[in-house]
Amino acid sequence: MPIYEYQCKKCGHEFEQLVFGQEAPKCPTCGGAKVCRLMSCCGFISKGAGGQTVSASAGSSSCGGCSASSCAGCGH
Ligand SMILES: [Zn+2]
């Protein structure tokens, strides 16, 4: 099973989580369910752009908050 890196949208805590299928992990610190996968999602993009919002050119995105095609955790 792959290990993904996530960031909690509630408290900002970053953690790694074993993910089974499309299961969305919860923040181990505050228990918040709104977490974002850093590898391909909001946190990674906003960090790389210095806090600015980067608009993805990919029109196939199903997530309004990031460029990931399937973001189960960011709440969009
Ligand atoms: Zn949290």
pLDDT in tens, 16-56: 988 777 777 899 999 999 998 886 544 444 444 445 555 54
- 65 vs 29, residue with greater confidence: 29
Whether residue 73 has pLDDT greater than 90: no
Predicted pLDDT at 44: 46
Question: Which residue ranges make up each domain of the chain?
Answer: 1-76
Q: Tell me the CA–centroid distance for residue 35 and ligand 1, in Å.
A: 8
Q: Quick one: which H or E segment has residue 18?
A: strand 14-18
Buried residues in 7-26 as b, exposed as e (16+ CB within 10 A): bbbeeeeebebebeeeebbb
Q: Tell me the CA–centroid distance for residue 64 and ligand 1, in Å.
A: 21
Ligand 1 ion local residues (Cβ < 5 A) = 8, 10-11, 13, 27, 29-30, 32
Q: Tell me the CA–centroid distance for residue 37 and ligand 1, in Å.
A: 13
